[in-house]
């Protein structure tokens, strides 16, 4: 029997009342395994109200006590990591070990959040002028909201609520309706860890829920991760309402490969970063840029047999290296880009459209084989767009400068990598490439939790990045206090602007 999911509002599960539902599939089998309620405006507003009610108590809780809740949450999630990864894998389609990594990367942000007493410290300067001291305090914003994507249903919600709650805010998360079970369980565990009811709420929904979060004046800030068109929509709407917003969009990451690179390492990196999680990562490397035709030919020669050996199957099968895509509709979208690449004149070296899963009971899953294009050119639409699937495109460059120009000129600027043994070339690339996140012999350069995540250009909208110290700044306001205590000396009325020279 198909189970019906709920919202999580005010510390408890709440059944959906809108009458609208969306199927949650098991991508490995193609079967419907649950139904997600799509929240009405009233339901979203009830979650905002619960967060607003919880804010005074939670924001007044000393930072060290909020940190203790985070420590306890860390313990609870760690104890359930395998169970969470199993649910995540069965709803998303990424293989089990990748799902465990999804949970772990989120926990690393929670580990950072456990140190929030340090990061909430302001500054102090005594006697900036005679008898006058100045200090600053970081204050939470109030009710904040997070809108998260289907491809990281554990990591990205923890990116957002880990920092937001540690700073003293209360939050409403709207996860992807495609795989919402893990965010719902994380909210339950946060309450079990000691957060008061209403501190973290989860509402499932679609555009109606998103618009409510954008428009409700009680929501002071929005964080978003997803496609660029929706990121622009959320950012523009939030800005129009005077809200703080960080909106992470799409990507088209390039891996530049110089002739001196370790080609065994390069091929391993391409296989993992292009086809891991079926390419459904904003930090995947779907574009390889070898410098020189000889190098490009050799990389293609090595890739083809490795791709043929790639084990594609049910996400919870320990032998699987790549699982299905999240939905049939998304698989069909990726197939349309493969067809587009063929029509545009790119050379289709490996065609993944013919892949069929033969495992019993999984014949109708949303599978697609790994696909390889060569001789892709920058004018092709299939190169310009984010495909978000297991499709690797090779764009050949004549020299280092031409290779660096490709990611620098592309409208997306999320991430890029360079593979080389030449330290000077690597240093120049990292310094000059017009992209926000760079890997040197690292295929997926996601910064550690104590740094911050965010790209440039059409990959990110807003001045502050996700998690790390940038996240603390995003979820807090800086209050400045200038104080003077009576000293027995009166200077009389002063009609000039105060300066430190007085």
Beta strands 456-457 and 412-413 are: antiparallel
Q: What is the largest CA-CA distance in the chain?
A: 90
* Token pair for 159: 């990116």
Secondary structure of residue 173 in the 3-state scheme:
strand
Q: How far apart are CA 181 and CA 195, in angstroms?
A: 20
CA 94 to CA 385: how far, in whole Å? 23
Tokens at residue 20, please?
Answer: 């609208």
Rounded to 5 degrees, φ, ψ at 221 are -155, 150
User: Phi-psi region for residue 38, left (φ > 0), alpha (ψ -120 to 50) or beta?
Assistant: beta
Residues whose CB is less than 8 angstroms from the CB of residue 79 and which lie 6 or more positions away in sequence, other chains included: none
Given a contact cutoff of 8 angstroms between Cβ atoms, the answer to whether 141 and 169 are in contact is yes
Phi/psi of residue 47, nearest 5 degrees:
-70, -40
Gap between the Cα atoms of 328 and 162, Å rounded: 32
User: Is 357 among the residues known to form the active site?
Assistant: no
Q: Where are the alpha helices (DSSP H) in 433-486?
A: 468-474
Given phi > 0 = left and psi -120 to 50 = alpha, else beta, which region is 106? alpha
Residue 438 pairs with which residues in a beta bridge?
Answer: 416
Q: Among residues 167, 245, 282, 357, which one is catalytic? A: 282
Q: How far is CA 278 from CA 66, 317, 407, 422, in A?
A: 37, 15, 22, 31
By the 8 A CB rule, do 410 and 252 touch?
yes
In 3-state terms, what secondary structure has residue 90? helix
Q: Could you give the count of Cα atoms lying within 13 Å of 124 in the half-sphere of its Cβ?
A: 3
- Record the tokens describing residue 138, joined without a space: 């970081």
DSSP secondary structure letter of residue 241: T
Strands (E), 99-177: 124-129, 132-140, 143-147, 170-174
Q: Which residues are catalytic?
A: 282
């Amino acid at each position: 029997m198909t189970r019906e999911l709920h919202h999580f509002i005010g510390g408890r599960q709440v059944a959906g009342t809108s009458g609208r539902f969306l199927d949650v599939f098991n991508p490995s089998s193609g079967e419907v395994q649950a139904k997600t309620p799509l929240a009405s405006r009233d339901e979203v507003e009830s979650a905002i109200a619960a967060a607003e009610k919880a804010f005074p108590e939670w924001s007044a809780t000393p930072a060290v006590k909020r940190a203790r809740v985070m420590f306890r949450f860390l313990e609870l999630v760690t104890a359930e990591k395998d169970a969470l990864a199993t649910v995540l894998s069965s709803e998303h389609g990424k293989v089990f070990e990748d799902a465990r990594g999804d949970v772990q990367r989120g926990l690393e942000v929670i580990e950072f959040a456990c140190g929030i007493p340090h990061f909430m410290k302001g500054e102090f300067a005594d006697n900036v002028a005679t008898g006058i001291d100045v200090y600053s305090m970081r204050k939470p914003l109030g009710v904040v909201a997070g809108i998260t994507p289907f491809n990281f249903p554990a990591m990205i919600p923890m990116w957002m609520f880990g920092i937001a709650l540690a700073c003293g805010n209360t939050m409403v998360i709207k996860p992807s309706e495609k795989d919402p079970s893990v965010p719902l369980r994380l909210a339950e565990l946060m309450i079990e860890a000691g957060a008061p009811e209403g501190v973290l709420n989860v509402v499932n929904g679609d555009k109606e829920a998103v618009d409510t979060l954008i428009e409700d004046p009680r929501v002071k800030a929005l964080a978003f991760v997803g496609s660029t068109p929706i990121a622009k929509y959320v950012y523009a709407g939030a800005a129009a309402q005077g809200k703080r917003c960080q909106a992470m969009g799409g990507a088209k990451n390039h891996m530049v490969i110089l002739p001196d690179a370790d080609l065994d390492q390069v091929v391993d990196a391409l296989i993992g970063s292009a086809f891991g999680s079926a390419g459904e990562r904003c930090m995947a490397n779907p574009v390889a840029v070898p410098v020189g035709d000889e190098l490009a030919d050799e990389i293609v020669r090595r890739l083809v047999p490795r791709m043929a050996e790639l084990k594609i199957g049910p996400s919870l099968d320990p032998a699987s290296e790549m699982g299905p895509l999240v939905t049939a509709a998304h698989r069909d979208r990726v197939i349309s880009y493969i067809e587009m690449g063929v029509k545009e004149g790119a050379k289709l070296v490996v065609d993944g459209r013919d892949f069929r899963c033969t495992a019993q009971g999984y014949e109708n899953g949303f599978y697609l084989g790994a696909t390889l294009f060569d001789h892709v050119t920058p004018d092709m639409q299939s190169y310009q767009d984010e495909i978000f699937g297991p499709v690797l495109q090779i764009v050949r460059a004549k020299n280092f400068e031409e290779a660096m120009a490709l990611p620098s000129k592309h409208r997306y600027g999320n991430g890029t990598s360079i593979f080389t043994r030449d330290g000077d070339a690597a240093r120049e690339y990292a310094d000059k490439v017009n992209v926000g996140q760079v890997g040197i012999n690292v295929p997926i350069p996601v910064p550690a939790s104590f740094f911050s995540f965010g790209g440039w250009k059409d990959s990110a909208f807003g001045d502050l990045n996700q998690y790390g110290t940038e996240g603390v700044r995003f979820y807090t306001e800086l209050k400045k206090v200038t104080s003077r205590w009576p000293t027995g000396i009166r200077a009389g009325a002063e009609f000039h602007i105060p300066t430190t020279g007085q």
